[in-house]
Structure 1
Amino acid sequence: MSYVVYLAAAILGMAAILLFRRPRQALTNPLTASTCVSILIGACCFSAAAPATLATVNRMTGIANFGAPMTYSLISAYSCSLFILLIYWRGGPVVTLRRTALAFIGVYGLLIAAIITLFTVGDAHVERLRDLDTYYANTPYIREMIVLYLLGHLVCCLVICGVCLLWTRQLRQETASPAAAAGAGPGAPAASKGDRLLRAGLWLIVIGLGMDMSGFVLAKIIAVTARWYGRDLDFLSTTVAPPLASVGAVICSLGFVLPRIVPAVGAQWRSLRHYRRLAPLWKVLRHVPTAFVSPSTWYRLPQSRLRMREMAIHDALLVLTPHLDERTGSGVLRRALAAGCDPTAARAKAEASMVVEAARQLAGGAADSLTEPGTYELRTSKDASRGLLRLAQELNTPGTVTGVDPLAAPTHGTRNGS
């Protein structure tokens, strides 16, 4: 059992670390902060519930079963954090959100205080690491403590599942409404994708909490109730509940994290693709001396690496601007247009040839005798990242239908007539 709950705690901890990778931004965003707190509390719940942890806590405090109220309090705090997370996720006026969150904190704070009080006045002197719920099911005060934490978590599961189901229904109706279809504009595909991710996250939350509710809460309630009537169904509490609760918590946390992680991962993946597609252009320009010195980027995320590469390429193109030979570009442009290329692609081919020729001259020292700097400005590079990608694409396809090879553009010498 310890291995199962420790694994669930580790997975939840990793999810929290992914969301909390930028602490300053996370702390200023209530949704990110509440998500991280909820997942971390869930990880603490599973760590505390492991028999090995319970034995260690009991031994360190010198109080038999001290780990029980600690774990039950963490479970109640986890229920409260799920409520707060859902509140901030749905959004609304800041004052209302804060007031509602404080109300839930007050309610579950009282529940935790009641759990601790009942354990203090009850008699649980026999250490039970796996079956405390059923072993003390008929013990005064300890019995009430067990019922309270189970009911607190059951209410949490029921309410959040109901809210999530209503939310998915609302999203489906908004998507299917004629007004939404009529008002769909250029941003409609992205919004639709975001809605699909949100609905998927909500369904994962419902499935996860459903497993938690049926596999953990109801299993324990049935086992405890059976003890009240003299029956022994302890296996539901000791064998069935822990693994189902672990899987349910992981699925539930994935539901909260998925709508936020997937767009970020997608953005990083797109940045990595763009970074690699710029490699041919960077290969031509990396030896051009510039004022900007690109730092080491191997340990950075793709978005940061892409930004650094684009800055280095733009600086190199600025250095090459005085050395661009329009005669080279004009010849390539005419041949590309004659071959049937559209004007945009033909312009990209021409400018790619000019860049390669200028880089060759600068590397060979021929540009040192330049007396008439060129005034041509690359139109492609003005189109931000898209223009750089177009230049890199032309450099990456030397064999074209026009028979023009930008990497083998003819050399006309420098503009001083040499």
Structure 2
Amino acid sequence: MSLVVYLAALVFALSGVVLLRRPRTAARNPLTVSTCVAIALGTLVFVCSAPLTLAAVNDLTGVPNFGAPLTYGMLSAYSCSLLVLLIHWRGGPPERVRNLALRSVAVYVPLVLAIVVLFALGDAHTERLTDLDTYYANTPCLREMIVLYLLGHSAATVSMCVLCVKWSREVTGLLRAGLRLIILGVLLDVAGFQATKYAAVAARWSGHDLDVLSTKVAPPMASLGALLCSAGFVLPRLLPALLAQWQSLRDHRRLGPLWARVRFASTAPGPPASWWRLPQERLQWREVSIHDALLALAPYFDDRVRERARDAALRRGRTAHQARIAAEAAMLADAARRAAAREAPLDTPSGYRLHATEVPGADGLVELAEALAGTTDVTAARSGAVQTSHG
């Protein structure tokens, strides 16, 4: 069971690492800070609740079952952090957000202290790594400690579920999807972890044995519920950034034909050597380098090539915009060919401005790159220009 719990903790922690990819920026954002605190506490709950960790903590402290109040305290702190995170996520007037967050902390700090005090007052000399809740369900003080941490966790999760249900009716898109994931994770936690724990403890009170619910069913359900909750919190914040990086990667590749054609003319500094540069950074460098190359090739632009390619495209039924891009691709290919052959620039420069240099972003360059992939207009325009020059 320890391996499963550790894997859940690893996945949980990775989501926090992704959010903290820019620590300086993240530290100034209360929402990011509260998200990472919740993820960090959730990770610690998983790590502390693993039997191997419990045994190690007990051995290090020399106190049997010392890992129990540590885990329960962490779980209570995690429950509080989820409420604080949800408060920051929903937003509102800063003063109101701050007051609600402080109230949540004010409730759970005494709860954590009470768990520690009750453990100290109770008699837990027999080490139990997997079934402490049921083994000590009838032990004075420890019984109250177990009920207290379960009630604290239940209060937080039920409050979260109610708030998320209400909020999900007011929003759309990724935010609603994230809220629904949180709701699903909370319901799994309530039904799979809390209900089974309550049932197993209540069974001990009535003289029955349902320990299997607490030891076998509750832990994996708690892990799954927590992972779904973390996915719900992270999804609306990470998915747009991931999609933007994916689009940048696609654009970077689509600019390949254009870059291959004009890279010899670029005088921009080379790309950073770091292999881990994000696609957006790589795309930005390629855009700058291509624009630099286009500026260097401008003296070779031949309006005759462009006009003939445009007329040919229009005759084939292309729209005015498509014809313009095809014509620009033909003119650019011709200019690159002559510049690479070290021919002299035109006596009278064209002065024409490419569409890709008039629009922001990579879309214009991508259109030009895709047009360069077709050679019909380019070949026809070159042939027409040569015939004209000979004529």
TM class by shorter chain equals over 0.9
> In terms of mean alpha carbon deviation, does 264-273 or 379-388 score higher?
379-388
How big is the shift at 1:108? 0.7
**In the aligned structure 2, how far is the partner of 1:377 from the partner of 1:297?**
34
Answer yes or no: is the 8 Å Cα contact 2:254–2:369 preserved in 1. Answer: yes
1:190 corresponds to which residue?
Answer: none
Deviations 1:234-268 (A, max 9, x none): 11111111111111111111111122222222111
Letter in 1 for 2:109: G
Matches within 5 A, 1:16-415: 16-171=16-171, 195-296=172-273, 298-367=275-344, 372-384=348-360, 385-399=362-376, 404-405=377-378, 409-410=382-383
How big is the shift at 1:375? 2.5
Distance of aligned partners of 1:61 and 1:297 in 2 relative to their CA distance in 1, 3 Å threshold: closer
Distance of aligned partners of 1:216 and 1:248 in 2 relative to their CA distance in 1, 3 Å threshold: same
Letter in 1 for 2:132: L
**TM-score (ref. length: structure 2):** 0.93
Distance of aligned partners of 1:272 and 1:283 in 2 relative to their CA distance in 1, 3 Å threshold: same
How big is the shift at 1:94? 1.0
Letter in 2 for 1:85: L
Deviations 1:81-101 (A, max 9, x none): 110111111110111111111
Cα RMSD for the two superposed structures:
2.0
Equivalenced residue count is 386
**In the aligned structure 2, how far is the partner of 1:380 from the partner of 1:300?**
25
Letter in 1 for 2:300: H
The sequence identity of aligned pairs, in percent, is: 52
Deviations 1:104-133 (A, max 9, x none): 112111111111111122221111111111
Deviations 1:365-416 (A, max 9, x none): 113x6654443322332223222111111111224xxxx2369835969xxx
Distance of aligned partners of 1:396 and 1:49 in 2 relative to their CA distance in 1, 3 Å threshold: same
Point out where structure 1 has 5 or more consecutive residues left out of the alignment.
Answer: 172-194
How big is the shift at 1:349? 1.4
SS of residue in 1 equivalent to 2:296: helix
**In the aligned structure 2, how far is the partner of 1:13 from the partner of 1:74?**
15
**In the aligned structure 2, how far is the partner of 1:386 from the partner of 1:122?**
68
Letter in 2 for 1:269: W
**TM-score (ref. length: structure 1):** 0.88
Distance of aligned partners of 1:411 and 1:291 in 2 relative to their CA distance in 1, 3 Å threshold: farther
Answer yes or no: is the 8 Å Cα contact 1:2–1:52 preserved in 2. Answer: yes
Distance of aligned partners of 1:104 and 1:31 in 2 relative to their CA distance in 1, 3 Å threshold: same
**In the aligned structure 1, how far is the partner of 2:295 from the partner of 2:341?**
18
1:189 corresponds to which residue?
Answer: none
**In the aligned structure 2, how far is the partner of 1:334 from the partner of 1:373?**
21
Letter in 2 for 1:53: T
How big is the shift at 1:319? 0.9
**In the aligned structure 1, how far is the partner of 2:318 from the partner of 2:180?**
49
